[in-house]
Chains A and B, each alone.
Chain A
Amino acid sequence: MAYSKELLDHYENPKNVGSMDKESEQVGTGLVGAPACGDVMKLQIKVNNKGVIEDAKFKTFGCGSAIASSSLITEWVKGKNLDEAHSIKNTEIANHLALPPVKIHCSILAEDAIKAAIDDYKKKNRKNR
């Protein structure tokens, strides 16, 4: 199976690897997937008071396509507001990385992860208001 140059680049030099303080009110955390299925993604966003995502970090247990999908989506969401980030579709990720059909689920997982992170942020900040 030949992977695209974009995919290999994100796998070999992943962007935005790391963790942020999940207790911080500015940070939303999404943890999706399951170890038994072979994929777990943790995606975190840091949102400023204008509602714009100013930083994003990830850690992923999964195949190269899963790592690349999460690396790519952290790049994409930076600078976007929550609604824009929420509307990213898995097909955009799959197309950009030229994911083979058996790896489409990796892009779905990345979409789920960003949505989960946004939900977590919103839930936190609703409570605190």
Chain B
Amino acid sequence: MSMKKLKNIYFDYQATTPVDPRVLKKMMPYFGEIYGNPHSRNHSFGWEAEEGVEVAREHVAKIINANPKEIIFTSGATESNNLALKGVAEFYGDKKNHIITCVTEHKCVLESCRHLAGKGFEVTYLPVQSNGLINLDELKKSITDKTLIVSIMGVHNEIGVIQPLEEIGNICRSKDIFFHTDCAQAIGKIPLDVDKMNIDLMSISGHKIYAPKGVGALYIRRKPRVRISSMISGGGQERGMRSGTLSPALCVGLGEACNIYSNEMEKENKTLTKYKEMMLEGIRKSCPDVYLNGSEEARVPGNLNLSFAYVEGESLMMGIKDLAVSSGSACTSASLEPSYVLKALGVEEELAHTSLRIGFGRFTTENEVKYATDIIVKEVKRLRELSPLWEMAQEGVDISKIKWAHH
């Protein structure tokens, strides 16, 4: 099979997504003729900008079955996560001071919790099972009468697993505990319903769903009401919870991105599932000892996090340099430490060093998936021929029994 060599193919949709041209088209007028301050109440310039923002708010609300009044715009999911956790903690902290989260949460959640721990909060970090999901019994057991909020993300950025949001929501509601979920990677990937899932706060990101970087949203439930202390002092925009003039263009972009997903999620998921299966089968057929990290069932189709045993991840990335993927080993960063997420799943360090995250999205083509599968297989085979560990494994040597000199 000969295939035309493709250059620079994007397989990193969990890092960020390109702006959908339909989104950009909706945004453009707000960079030009519609330039009013959406908070100006006295003239048509303001009203026009405000209308764009409010339509966008409706689109965001609709995709999670919320009321538009429950949505505030932010700069992104990092700000939303900070605001949700610190805002709730500050408002209710004198009554309850216990937070439950999970070891595999995004750094901005973990760091916010660490910040709060420094202010006297107790934080429980739930472990995950080998499939990347939390154990609901562990969650129930860690709840005390001081538990204020539980924060568990919807879809994982690194391994793509889907946490049981509805079950977590039910547990929290029955104990009068707030449930916050970071859904940066979940919007448009799985059906979300804040009422059915008993979600009290939800963080949303623009640039993971084909809207621009620099915009996000936070859902904050009104009935029963959740209150937060604001982090930014100012003119009291966004119902006093997030001061600062909104960017209508960015808000409109986020709104349109949600609107598109409201209509196209199912169709897109079908295509991505096809691609995922194509690549996974293609790789497994030709290469033994390739492992999928995170649950194979409870995962979104756009994420394949694979460990290629006996092949170091960074060298593999170098070999497939026309594919923009992400290294699970994080060895490209200065730390040289394998991913804390894979570690939490119990993936041994040597296997964590062999991991790649391959992400598909809206603009991925079947041709690209086929091409990528071919060159990944070719490169894994080449590097295994270079690998002393592969050679030992073929000779039947148990690598875990060798006394390695750690350096």
Indicate if B366 sits at the interface (CB-CB under 8 A).
no
Is A31's CB under 8 angstroms from B388's CB?
A: yes
Tell me the chain B residues, 357-407 only, with Cβ under 8 Å from chain A.
385-391, 399, 404-407
Is A62's CB under 8 angstroms from B312's CB?
A: yes
**What separation, in Å, do the CA atoms of A33 and B348 have in the docked complex?**
16
Is A60's CB under 8 angstroms from B388's CB?
A: yes
**What separation, in Å, do the CA atoms of A119 and B11 have in the docked complex?**
46
Partner of B388, one of A14, A59, A105: A59
Residues of A in contact, count (CB < 8 Å):
29
Tell me the chain A residues, 28-48 only, with Cβ under 8 Å from chain B.
31-42
Indicate if A67 sits at the interface (CB-CB under 8 A).
yes
**What separation, in Å, do the CA atoms of A59 and B336 have in the docked complex?**
21
**What separation, in Å, do the CA atoms of A34 and B389 have in the docked complex?**
10
CB neighbours of A33 from chain B (8 A): 404-405, 407
Is B405's CB under 8 angstroms from A34's CB?
A: yes
Indicate if B48 sits at the interface (CB-CB under 8 A).
no
Chain A residue with the shortest CB-CB distance to B311: A61
Interface of chain B, helix or strand or loop or mixed? loop
Q: Which of B138-146, B179-187, B327-335 contacts A (4 or more CB under 8 A)?
A: B327-335
CB neighbours of B389 from chain A (8 A): 35, 40, 61
Is B386's CB under 8 angstroms from A59's CB?
A: yes
Indicate if B315 sits at the interface (CB-CB under 8 A).
yes
Name the distance in Å between A106's Cβ and chain B's nearest Cβ.
11
Tell me the chain A residues, 7-22 only, with Cβ under 8 Å from chain B.
11, 14, 17, 19
CB neighbours of A62 from chain B (8 A): 312, 315
**What separation, in Å, do the CA atoms of A8 and B407 have in the docked complex?**
25
**What separation, in Å, do the CA atoms of A60 and B387 have in the docked complex?**
5
Indicate if B178 sits at the interface (CB-CB under 8 A).
no
CB neighbours of A34 from chain B (8 A): 404-407
Is A61's CB under 8 angstroms from B405's CB?
A: no
- Most chain A beta-carbon neighbours within 10 Å: one of B310, B312, B336, B399: B312
Chain B residue with the shortest CB-CB distance to A59: B388
Name the distance in Å between A6's Cβ and chain B's nearest Cβ.
14
Task: Knowing that A38-B331, A109-B407 touch, tell me 13 more A-B residue pairs with CB under 8 angstroms.
Answer: A11-B319, A33-B405, A40-B404, A41-B388, A60-B386, A60-B388, A61-B312, A61-B386, A61-B387, A61-B388, A62-B312, A63-B318, A63-B331
> Which A residues are closer than 8 A to B by beta carbons?
1, 3, 11, 14, 17, 19, 31-42, 59-64, 66-67, 102, 105, 109
